Amino acid sequence: MSEETKNVDAQNADAPVVSLKESNPEQFLKEFDWHNYKEGIDVVDTAELEEFEKLVAENFVDTLNDEVVEGTVINITDRDAIIDINAKSEGVISLNEFRYNPDLKVGDKVEVLIDVREDATGQLILSHRKARVIKAWERVNNAHDTGEIVNGFVKCRTKGGMIVDVFGIEAFLPGSQIDVKPIRDYDAYVGKTMEFKVVKINHEFKNVVVSHKALIEADIEEQKKEIIGQLEKGQVLEGVVKNVTSYGVFVDLGGVDGLIHITDLSWSRINHPNEIVELDQKLNVVILDFDEAKTRIQLGLKQLKAHPWEALDKDLTIGNKVKGKVVVIADYGAFIEVEEGVEGLIHVSEMSWSTHLRSAQDFVKVGDEVEAVVLTLDRDERKMSLGIKQLTPDPWTDITAKYPVGSKHTGVVRNFTNFGVFVELEEGIDGLIYISDLSWTKKIKHPSDFTNVGDKLEVVVLELDVEGRKLSLGHKQVEDNPWDQYEAEFAVGTKHTAKIADIVDKGATIDFNDNIVAFVPSRHLEKEDGSKLVKGEEAEFQIIEFSKEFKRVVASHTALFKAEEAKIVKQAAKKAASSASEKTTLGDIDALADLKAKMEKGGN
């Protein structure tokens, strides 16, 4: 320092100090720290305060911030781990939060979150578990956004899949996302560490879904395109049965799957593919078709063998007998497998000589071994029709001798129609009884009111049409027509005693016997005293109408006394007429006598 400068400083030192308060009171009051003055805090130099705040910022964490910070383990007790996070004091974390890491030691770096800034004892409480969760969610979200592959530990099975530990978060692994192949043993994956891709995050419910299948699908798609690019129709490849479903079999061709539809497994009919193949079975298949765009491959197994029709016996012809098993039954007939892959149809009309068709199930069932006759054979179209009834003689051959018109027989009721009943006299011989030929006396609205299917009925052959193979039968003709007898017994004018059976519309009915139900019009119910007959009342009736053709009988009670009155009136009228006639005759005689006298007198 120069001498001149020293002299100036000495002079300044000796000069009186003028404070801001004295030199500029207004500025002093404006800048004065009233808070520190009221709290009794000494004034600190501004530069020193700024230096202190800088040191605090560099060496201590902000305990008001919820961000995860890194700390160092400085001590481990029986229960806790003491962590230094460069705060005003060390923090404490329970060792329970480090159970996943039994090798924790002094000096290890751990992520922590300030849980309680100061407990009752002034201790800083930290949480490693919460810090792991926050960091884990950050890593999971980042993996989901970037497509990063993560490692996870398969903890256990759950409904529909597995639970996987990813960064300490329990994620769900659906069963369909474990592998590209169907999983048959889920327990085999428990306890394994595998690679996964985070495919879905539900932030509202804190759910994470991961997939292992997604990692290998991309590679598989590339393999598929490469393999499909080398495929040709008709090419034979070796594969392994990967999955068996009700509609077909999936075969692994070495990185790409193909489907054998159930219809392409065997030339014979099968109910389920597991009748032909089983899981993990190696087999040769032929490429039937493929779609490069959709990476679909259609395979065939039966096509590796010659079509059974080509190996069919060359000598087989129409009229030959064959044996086979019933494989399918439909309403119209049954399919018979005469050789593996060769089927013939027996139409229901070829199962029985009867013209009254029934269901094929009435004759055969699936699995039956049957013998049949070849009716038609088309090798080009690979079609064959068979018949069973041809194995027995046609019952209509001697029908006129067995069932002549007028002959009586007993048959079984097989079916109803609105107009009659079909009765089977023997296998192949059916006849129809019209509803009008069921009873002489009963009025039948429907055949089911008279008989039941399976009942036996006595019948008479009324008509026989050999060419049309039709029989007309009658049931009532088994007995004489009782109306022939009733025609005389209940002739018009005959009188009978009976009770009123029922009061009906416009009259009443009376039962003369089991077959004769007569109708009495209302005006014919009147009794002689003017009252009317009532239900259950017995009285005498006179038949006033009888029709055998329409089976109609009409009776009257009133006619009995009305006829008597009419008789009396008639007799009185006759008597009066007779008396009048006598008077007229005598008068005429007198007149004639007078006329004669006058004539005689005039003549004189």
User: Which residue in the block uniquely carries the two structure tokens 């049931």?
Assistant: 475
Within 10 angstroms of residue 178's Cβ, the number of other Cβ atoms is 19
Domain 60-133: which CATH number of 1.10.1200.10, 3.30.230.70, 2.40.50.140, 3.40.50.300 = 2.40.50.140
Domain 147-216: which CATH number of 3.90.380.10, 3.40.50.300, 3.40.50.1100, 2.40.50.140 = 2.40.50.140
Task: Round the CA-based radius of gyration of the chain to a whole number and report it.
Answer: 59
Contact residues for 207 (Cβ-Cβ < 8 A; gap 6+): 172, 200, 201
Contact residues for 156 (Cβ-Cβ < 8 A; gap 6+): 162, 163, 190
Which of 322-326, 453-457, 545-549 shows the lowest mean pLDDT across its residues? 545-549
CA dist 432 and 13 (Å) reads 151
Which of 22-36, 150-164, 364-378 shows the lowest mean pLDDT across its residues? 22-36
Would you say residue 462 has pLDDT above 50?
Answer: yes
**Domain 229-304 CATH class label:** mainly beta
Whether domain 395-478 has CATH 2.40.50.140:
yes
Q: By C-alpha distance, which of 338, 356, 359 is closest to 348?
A: 359
- 16 SS3 class: coil
CA dist 556 and 542 (Å) reads 5
Contact residues for 503 (Cβ-Cβ < 8 A; gap 6+): 534, 535
Tens digit of each residue's pLDDT (9 = 90 or more) over 362-383: 888 998 999 999 999 998 888 9
CATH architecture of 308-391: Beta Barrel (2.40)
CA dist 336 and 327 (Å) reads 6
Kindly state the tokens that stand for 505: 């519309």
CA dist 474 and 451 (Å) reads 14
Mean pLDDT of 538-550: 87
The β-bridge relationship of strands 383-387 and 342-347 is: parallel
Cα distances from 416 to residues 358, 423, 432, 440, in angstroms, run 13, 9, 10, 19
Cα distances from 391 to residues 129, 215, 374, in angstroms, run 88, 67, 11
pLDDT of residue 529: 87
pLDDT of residue 421: 92
Tens digit of each residue's pLDDT (9 = 90 or more) over 342-351: 899 999 989 8
Tell me if 327 sits within 8 A of 266, measured CB to CB. Answer: no
CA dist 252 and 247 (Å) reads 17
Tell me the three-class secondary structure of 341-401, residue by residue. Answer: CEEEEEEHHHCCCCCCCCCHHHCCCCCCEEEEEEEEEECCCCEEEEECHHHCCCHHHHHHH
Q: By C-alpha distance, which of 351, 353, 377, 378 is closest to 362?
A: 351
pLDDT of residue 334: 92
pLDDT of residue 604: 42
pLDDT of residue 79: 87
Please state, rounded to an integer, the average pLDDT across all residues of the chain: 80
Q: By C-alpha distance, which of 418, 404, 427, 415 is closest to 473?
A: 404
Give me the count of residues in the chain: 604
Would you say residue 455 has pLDDT above 80?
Answer: yes
Q: How confident is the model at residue 43 (pLDDT cuts 50, 70, 90)?
A: low
Query: pLDDT exceeding 90 applies to what percent of the chain?
Result: 20
Helix (H) or strand (E) holding 487, with range, is helix 482-489
Every domain of the chain and the residues it spans: 60-133, 147-216, 229-304, 308-391, 395-478
308-391 has the same fold as 60-133: yes
Q: How confident is the model at residue 422 (pLDDT cuts 50, 70, 90)?
A: very high
Would you say residue 128 has pLDDT above 90?
Answer: no
Helix (H) or strand (E) holding 495, with range, is strand 495-504
Would you say residue 232 has pLDDT above 50?
Answer: yes
Tens digit of each residue's pLDDT (9 = 90 or more) over 257-269: 889 999 899 888 8
CA dist 114 and 69 (Å) reads 8
Would you say residue 67 has pLDDT above 80?
Answer: no
CA dist 215 and 466 (Å) reads 80
End-to-end CA distance of the chain: 226
